[in-house]
Structure 1
Amino acid sequence: MTTRNSPEAWNLRYAESEMVWSLEPNEFVVEYLSDLPAGKMLDLGGGEGRNALWFASRGWHVENSDFSAVAVTKFLQRAEREGLLELCTGTTMDATHPESCVTKPVDLAVMAYLQIPAADLAAAIATAAHSLRPGGTFFGVWHARENLEYGFGGPPSPELNPTQDELRAACEAVGMNIETLTLRERYFVSGDQQRKAIDAVLLATAAA
């Protein structure tokens, strides 16, 4: 949920608002992953941890990581309020640095709206792949490049909105098998208007 800015900039943004992102999990996370049996999960660039907390509420052991220490602290505070702290680990780390992950191997790695340049995103996907157990699941969702022309929201710079080809190449480089790679429309209310966003959705598995 972070763009490729400094941790200091994102610390300030998270400190200025009670919640930067929705309290609810991403709709595609719910749609694609609800049927998975509980296990260990890693969210890379997870911000305040809305997706990780949803998994924890379903019995998963989760690690929510972000390079903003403020976001990670807010995640842990919410986990405590909701009685989920024993299932939650918070890690301040850069998603492109695999050695920083605490929980591994994991059954599931999630990456939601980590909008960073293609080379950095490939490194972050490699972090996810290296954190997975053999046969584990990787799920990602991003504002797609097509969103710049046909959708609303997300970063305005093309290099921060991945293409399907970039995502495919990043997965293939680390030997993950792509199950689904598609564009999905997502509708939400901004101000007093309903808006449409175009997201790239990726489901892949680590080599067995």
Structure 2
Amino acid sequence: MTTRNSPEAWDQRYAEAELVWSQEPNEFVVEYLSDLPVGKMLDLGGGEGRNALWFASRGWNVENSDFSAVAVEKFLQRAEHEGLSDLCTGTAVDATNPESCVTKPVDLAVMAYLQIPAADLAAAIATAAQSLRAGGTLFGVWHARENLEHGFGGPPSPELNPTQDELRTACDSLGLNVQTLTLRDRFFVSGGEERKAIDVVLMATT
């Protein structure tokens, strides 16, 4: 849930708001992953941990990783408030660093709106893949390149909005088995109006 800026810039953004992102999990995370058996999950670039906390509430052992230490601390505070601390680990690291996961191997790695340039995103996908056990699942959702012209929200720079081809190439280079790679419309209210965003959803297995 971070773009490729400095950790310090995102620390400031997270410190200035009670919540930068929604408290609820991403709708596509819920749609695609609700039926997975309980296990261990890693959220790369997970910000304040909305998805990780949702999994923890369902009995998963989770690790929320972000390069903003402030975001990670907010995640840990919320985990304590919700009585989920025993299931939650927080790490302040860069998603492109292959050593970023401390609880590997995991059954599931999630990336939600990790909007970074293609080369960095490929490195983050490699981090996720290396963190998975055999047969594990990688799930990602991003603002799609198509969102720039036909949707609302997300970063304005094309290089920060991945294409399906970029994501498939990254997965193919790692030997991942792509199960789902598709565009999805997401509707939300902003400024009192209903808006449509175009996301790209990826689901792959090792």
Q: TM-score, normalised by structure 2?
A: 1.00
Number of aligned residue pairs? 206
1:7 alignment counterpart: 7
Unaligned runs of 5+ in 2: none
Q: How does 1:83-122 map to 2 (within 5 A)?
A: 83-122=83-122
> 1:200 Cα deviation (Å)?
0.2
Instruction: State the one-letter code of the partner of 1:163.
Output: T
1:173 alignment counterpart: 173
Q: How does 1:45-56 map to 2 (within 5 A)?
A: 45-56=45-56
> 1:191 Cα deviation (Å)?
1.1
Residues of 2 paired with 1:197 and 1:148: CA distance? 9
Q: Which runs of 4+ in 1 moved over 6 A?
A: none
Residues of 1 paired with 2:185 and 2:67: CA distance? 28
Instruction: State the one-letter code of the partner of 2:27.
Output: E
Unaligned runs of 5+ in 1: none
Identity rate of aligned residues, in percent? 84
User: Secondary structure at 1:194's aligned position in 2?
Assistant: strand
Quick check: 2:118–2:160 contact (8 Å CA) kept in 1?
Answer: yes
Cα RMSD of the aligned pairs, angstroms, is 0.3
2:142 alignment counterpart: 142
What's the CA shift string for 1:122-167, capped at 9, x where partnerless? 0000000000000100000000000000000000000000000000
Quick check: 2:100–2:127 contact (8 Å CA) kept in 1?
Answer: no
Residues of 1 paired with 2:91 and 2:130: CA distance? 17
> 1:101 Cα deviation (Å)?
1.3
Residues of 1 paired with 2:101 and 2:125: CA distance? 13
